[in-house]
Every structure is written in structure tokens, then in C-alpha cells.
């Protein structure tokens, strides 16, 4: 368990650090990072998504409850985020960064592996179901918000290289997987082995591309948005999850896992959206860095609460 958790966290931190180092050495500039993201989105992501959705048990109610809860809790975070943007002097690109950071939390790289360390493999499986909504939501609603608030006409080289139609590739992969699943076409045994290779490779390359563009600047100039985002991530979203779990009468370890996932900091994925759609890159980085650092003592307190 410890080895698997360490390797997973090592992949997350190591890939981001490698991307940052490649950028510092001049090996991975913005244009090359955009080309790397393009390959991931066009080639490996559709294959991975097709294989995943091909294997899902679409007839199990629990399969739909967990991603539905994940989606509702994430969408609920847009309500306070939207009102904050409306009543604060943020520019349109800054509002786009704030909204996308509010929408997406680190339910995979951080949340799933913390749950695995605490509750074992079953909890990790629940987390994988919980975050099923993430990728479809990222490539649809996340991209729409970023395009709505961004400045595509003045976007970076990465944004220019990333054409609008590219978002269709992952979506087509998901549709293909659903179609094969509903048609009861048996998935070849070798596909599982292929996904075991592509998922970590896909993740590592994506994090390398993001890491090459991360700005490790002080978040203090953005302290007010960071404090507001912290309240959304660590107070509001867990409260929404708690109310939903009470209404649905969910208890036991699954309740703890969902509360844990609802308490995660800003995800890594929104950091690529400023590069694609001209959102505010400095704000997105500050929100991610601030909430990620704050999540460490916060999670120590939350875990004690969940154990009661």
C-alpha cells in the first residue's frame, strides 16, 4: 500500500517537477508543450476513454450515483464562485480562471490516493467512479467557460496550436466506448493491459506539459481570491456533500470517501486552460498553489473528523 501510494505521488510530483526543469533548461517551451498536449488529446486520451467506458457496468445504480454526486458537488461550487466574480473587480480572464479552478478539484491525483491509504482498494475504486464525471466535464463545460471568459484572439502559442475541434477527440472516444458497451461487444483482454500502460503515460506527459508552464510565484498578491477559493473548497463544498449524503442516507466508509473527495484543493488540469484560452495564468497558479499547500494541514484535521 505504502509503495503504491508513494509511486503514485511520485508520478504526480515528479512529472510536474520534470516539466518545470525541462522549461528551465529551454527544452520544453510553450509551443512544444502545446504540441505535447495536442498529441495527448488527439491520440492517447480517446483510446483511454474508449477503453474505460467500454468496461463500465452501466446497469449498476452505484456506478451512476458516485459520478452524479461528484458532478453535483462540483457544479455547486460554481454558485459562490460566480457571485464572487460578479461582485469583485476581476477582469474577464481572471474570472474565467477563478470559475474553472472552483469547478475542478484534485479528486484523482490527491483525493483518490489519500482515500486508498486510509480505506484500501475498495475506497480507491469508489474514487474512480466518483471522478468519472471529471474528464467529460473538463472537455465540455470547462472548455466552454474558458472560451467564454478567455481571449482566444490574443491567446498564447499553446492556445493557437490547440484548435477548437480538438475537444471532440476525447468526447468521441467516450461515445465509442459507450456504444461498444451498450452493444455488448466484449472488450479484448489485451485492452486492459494497454490501458495500464497508457493511463500512467498519459498522466505523466500531461503533467510534464503543465509543469513546464507553472509559475511558482508568491500567491500573496492574489490573497483575497485565494482565501475565497479556500472557503469554497474547504468549507462550502464539504457542506454541500454532507447535506447530499444525509438526504441520500449514505453512511459508512463510502460517506467518508465522498466527504474526502469533496474537500480537495484546486486540480492541476485547470492550469492548462489559461494556456489554451488566454485566461489569467498567474491567478490560476496562485489558486492552485495556495489551496494545495493549505490542504495538507486541513486534511490532517478532516481525517480525524472522518475517523469519529
| DSSP per position, 165-217 | GGGHHHHHHHHHHHHHHHTTPPPPHHHHHHHHHHHHHHHHHHHHHHHTT----
Cα dist from 191 to 49, 164, 186, 212, 304, whole Å? 12, 29, 11, 31, 40
- Domain range list for the chain: 2-29+69-155+198-306
Question: What whole-number distance in Å separates Cα of residue 17 and Cα of residue 223?
Answer: 24
Q: Which of 66, 100, 102 is nearest to 260 (CA)?
A: 66
Q: At what angle do helices 92-103 and 223-231 cross, to 10 degrees?
A: 30
Give pLDDT, residue 181: 87
Long-range contacts (CB closer than 8 Å, 24 or more residues apart) made by 49-52: 49/135, 49/170, 49/173, 49/174, 49/177, 50/173, 50/174, 50/176, 50/177, 50/180, 51/177, 51/187, 51/191, 51/192, 51/194, 51/195, 52/177, 52/195
Phi, psi of 122 (to 5 degrees): -60, -40
Phi, psi of 68 (to 5 degrees): -65, -45
| Residues 85-112: b if buried by 16+ CB within 10 A, e if exposed | beeeebeebbbbbbbbbbbbbbbbbbbb
Residues 6 or more apart whose CB falls under 8 angstroms from that of 211 comprise: 15, 16, 17, 18, 19, 20, 22, 23
pTM: 0.73
Give pLDDT, residue 184: 86
Q: At what angle do helices 281-306 and 223-231 cross, to 10 degrees?
A: 40
Give pLDDT, residue 104: 96
DSSP-assigned beta bridge partners for residue 266: 105
Cα dist from 8 to 41, 110, 116, 192, whole Å? 22, 9, 11, 19
Q: At what angle do helices 237-248 and 252-261 cross, to 10 degrees?
A: 150
Give pLDDT, residue 79: 97
- List the pLDDT tens digit at each of the 308 positions of the chain: 445 545 666 777 788 889 889 988 888 887 788 778 778 878 888 888 788 778 777 676 766 788 899 999 999 999 999 999 999 999 999 999 999 999 999 997 678 767 877 777 667 767 878 888 887 888 889 989 998 998 754 444 444 444 455 667 877 887 898 899 888 888 888 887 787 778 778 778 877 887 887 766 677 788 899 999 999 999 999 999 999 999 998 888 889 999 999 999 999 888 888 877 889 988 998 999 899 888 888 887 887 777 66
Give pLDDT, residue 6: 58
Question: What whole-number distance in Å separates Cα of residue 178 and Cα of residue 172?
Answer: 10
Q: Which of 14, 177, 20 is nearest to 109 (CA)?
A: 14
Give pLDDT, residue 63: 66
| Residues 172-207: b if buried by 16+ CB within 10 A, e if exposed | ebbebbbebbeeeeeeeeebeeebeebeeebbbbbb
Question: What whole-number distance in Å separates Cα of residue 284 and Cα of residue 278?
Answer: 11
Angle at 98 between CA 96 and CA 101, to 5 degrees: 105
Give pLDDT, residue 159: 46
Amino acid at each position: 500500500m505504502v509503495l503504491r501510494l508513494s509511486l503514485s505521488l511520485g508520478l504526480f510530483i515528479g512529472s510536474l517537477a520534470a516539466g518545470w526543469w525541462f522549461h528551465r533548461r529551454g527544452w520544453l517551451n510553450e509551443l512544444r508543450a502545446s504540441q505535447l498536449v495536442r498529441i495527448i488529446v488527439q491520440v492517447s486520451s480517446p483510446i483511454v476513454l474508449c477503453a474505460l467506458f467500454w468496461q463500465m457496468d452501466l446497469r449498476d445504480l452505484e456506478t451512476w450515483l458516485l459520478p452524479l454526486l461528484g458532478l453535483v458537488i462540483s457544479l455547486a461550487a460554481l454558485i459562490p464562485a460566480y457571485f464572487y466574480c460578479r461582485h469583485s473587480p476581476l477582469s474577464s480572464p481572471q474570472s474565467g480562471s477563478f470559475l474553472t479552478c472552483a469547478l475542478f478539484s484534485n479528486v484523482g491525483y490527491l483525493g483518490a490516493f489519500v482515500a486508498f491509504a486510509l480505506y484500501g482498494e475498495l475506497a480507491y475504486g469508489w474514487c474512480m467512479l466518483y471522478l468519472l464525471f471529471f474528464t467529460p466535464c473538463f472537455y465540455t463545460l470547462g472548455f466552454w467557460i474558458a472560451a467564454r471568459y478567455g481571449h482566444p484572439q490574443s491567446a498564447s502559442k499553446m492556445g493557437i496550436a490547440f484548435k477548437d475541434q480538438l475537444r471532440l477527440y476525447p468526447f468521441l472516444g467516450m461515445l465509442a466506448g459507450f456504444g461498444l458497451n451498450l452493444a455488448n461487444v466484449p472488450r479484448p483482454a489485451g485492452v486492459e493491459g494497454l490501458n495500464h500502460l497508457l493511463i500512467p503515460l498519459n498522466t505523466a506527459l500531461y503533467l510534464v506539459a503543465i509543469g513546464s508552464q507553472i509559475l511558482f510565484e508568491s500567491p500573496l498578491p492574489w490573497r483575497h481570491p485565494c482565501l475565497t477559493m479556500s472557503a469554497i473548497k474547504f468549507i462550502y463544498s464539504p457542506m454541500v456533500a454532507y447535506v447530499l449524503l444525509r438526504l441520500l442516507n449514505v453512511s459508512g466508509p463510502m460517506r467518508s470517501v465522498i466527504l474526502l473527495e469533496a474537500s480537495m484543493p484546486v486540480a492541476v488540469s485547470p492550469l492548462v486552460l489559461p494556456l489554451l484560452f488566454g485566461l489569467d495564468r498567474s491567478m490560476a497558479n496562485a489558486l492552485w498553489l495556495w489551496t494545495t499547500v493549505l490542504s495538507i494541514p486541513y486534511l490532517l484535521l478532516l481525517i480525524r473528523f472522518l475517523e469519529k
